[in-house]
Amino acid sequence: MKIAVVGTGYVGLVTGTCFAETGNTVTCVDIDSTKVNKLTNGEITIYEPGLEKLFLRNLKEDRLHFTTDLAAGIKDASIIFLALPTPPGEDGSADLKYILGVASQLGTLLKTDDYKVIIDKSTVPVGTAEKVNAAILESAKKAGVNLTGAFDVVSNPEFLREGVAVDDFMKPDRVVIGTSSEKAKKLMGDLYAPFVRQGNPVIFMDERSAELTKYAANSFLATKISFMNEVARLCELLGADVDMVRRGVGSDDRIGKRFLFPGIGYGGSCFPKDVQALVKSSNEVKYDFKILNAVMEVNETQKLHLFPKIKNYFKGDLKGKHFALWGLAFKPNTDDIREAPALYMIDALTAEGATVTAFDPEAMNNVKKTIGDKITYAENQYAALQGADALIIATEWNEFRTPDFLKIVSTLKNKTIFDGRNLFEVSAIRELGFHYESIGRAPSIIK
């Protein structure tokens, strides 16, 4: 099949590459000419494990192309994916200007005798497929063309996680397709058939249900995390160990082991914006989604849950203190720093007169572009420790899990660690003589 993917960010590039990998010819369109030039020349623009190899192979096989020209990009395609940003608008609802902007452009480019399926891959509020449909028809009408019947708009939300995006895309738990068109249903079923050979379902439904499925899934996962973060807070107050509670709770199949890890809050480009957008959508129909308001409130405070512990340890005065920070990305195996809890920690520390030297295996360039020399950057995790009064851990990169503690001891000024991801066993690290504080495992309680 010939496919166009409009928007070549995390989702667009993975989508385009993976569809090329199953033999389709894919053209990715992006307005960012720097990005398009790099990709055309074989330079990958995001860090995503396993992606580069597939990207280079399909580029070489001439199945993957990049352009800034929307008209040229969609000309031969029978399927057009929209993988465009849907950032929060001023009021927290999803801003559809990118999606509807491209939809209007498509209205002037589609032909009456060349049927195409337009797919919302972006996370969009309920009713967006109808809006995209109307925007295409309207701009065509202005140009004197009646496109009725020449296209269908389908909702096909994406559930991939950054860091494991290729695996998630190639072997999805499920594929959700919202469409009321039999023609589009057949095309989408054929397109996804190679990805569900192990029997994972392709679930067909109406457009609105598909749109809501995406928000409900992300919001449920965010709820699990905030719930466990509250359990962790309670553990600290009651003298329990959240890691034990997590294992005890997660062993029940009805609850499941995944997404129960407490920490310094959920970040990333999706959970924060999607939970907020679903609350907003609910408000628009006069429904008060009470649980989600609490989920957001817990997450806001959780991002700085370590901060009072740090301040308390330094007797309320952080002025002139210097911290080593391990981890900047919002989670491991990505260079994405959108809504990263580490950035909130940096703001809080520097606002109190402290200085920070950070190390992250992949995200330092993105942080430099955002906050520049507000902090300093180390070339490896141990160099970050030089002269620091304490180590703070914000992201659970694998290489932080079993570090060389002798090196830490010999480089840090004080044997003090504040761990936002519960990487170390409390008793073991105390035996090494560290003052160690983490989440949901109060030092005064766990012996």
Ligand X SMILES: O=C(O)[C@H]1O[C@H](OP(=O)(O)OP(=O)(O)OC[C@H]2O[C@@H](n3ccc(=O)[nH]c3=O)[C@H](O)[C@@H]2O)[C@H](O)[C@@H](O)[C@@H]1O
Ligand Y SMILES: NC(=O)C1=CN([C@@H]2O[C@H](COP(=O)(O)OP(=O)(O)OC[C@H]3O[C@@H](n4cnc5c(N)ncnc54)[C@H](O)[C@@H]3O)[C@@H](O)[C@H]2O)C=CC1
Binding site for ligand X (CB under 6 A): 123, 158-162, 218, 221, 225, 259-261, 263, 266-268, 270-271, 330-331
Using CB atoms, what's the residue nearest to ligand X? 270
Give whichever of 81 and 330 is closer to ligand X, judged by the CB atom. 330
Q: What value, to the nearest 5°, has the Cα angle with vertex 194 and ends 190 and 200?
A: 100
Backbone angles phi, psi at 381, to 5 degrees: -65, -30
Q: Which does 263 bind (CB under 5 to 8 A by kind): ligand Y, ligand X, none?
A: ligand X
Q: What is the largest CA-CA distance in the chain?
A: 78
**Is residue 270 among the annotated active site residues?**
yes
Give whichever of 339 and 437 is closer to ligand X, judged by the CB atom. 339
Under DSSP, is residue 325 helix (H, G, I), strand (E, B) or coil? strand
How far, in Å, are 199, 207, 227, 436 from residue 230 at the CA level?
A: 37, 35, 5, 20
Q: How far is the CB of 85 from ligand Y (least distance, A)?
A: 4
DSSP, residue by residue, 211-255 = HHHHHHHHHHHHHHHHHHHHHHHHHHHHT--HHHHHHHHHTSTTT
Helices 341-351 + 306-313 axis angle, to 10: 30
Q: Which does 344 bind (CB under 5 to 8 A by kind): ligand Y, ligand X, none?
A: none
Give whichever of 116 and 331 is closer to ligand X, judged by the CB atom. 331
Tokens of 227: 């719930």
Q: Which does 122 bind (CB under 5 to 8 A by kind): ligand Y, ligand X, none?
A: ligand Y
Q: Which does 9 bind (CB under 5 to 8 A by kind): ligand X, ligand Y, none?
A: ligand Y
Q: How far is the CB of 162 from ligand X (least distance, A)?
A: 4
Q: How far is the CB of 112 from ligand Y (least distance, A)?
A: 24
Q: Which does 32 bind (CB under 5 to 8 A by kind): ligand X, ligand Y, none?
A: ligand Y
Q: How far is the CB of 169 from ligand Y (least distance, A)?
A: 10
Give whichever of 378 and 394 is closer to ligand X, judged by the CB atom. 394
The C-alpha atoms of residue 396 and residue 284 are separated, in whole angstroms, by 38
Give whichever of 29 and 318 is closer to ligand Y, judged by the CB atom. 29
The beta strand positions in 95-241, using DSSP E, are 116-120, 151-155, 175-178, 202-205
The C-alpha atoms of residue 364 and residue 47 are separated, in whole angstroms, by 12
Tokens of 162: 């950054």
For the beta carbon of residue 283, count every other beta carbon within 10 angstroms. 14
Catalytic residue among 18, 28, 235, 270: 270
Q: Applying CB under 6 A, which residues contact ligand Y? A: 6-12, 29-32, 35, 83-86, 98, 101-102, 122-123, 158, 160, 162, 269-270
Amino acid at 28: C
Residue numbers annotated as active site: 270
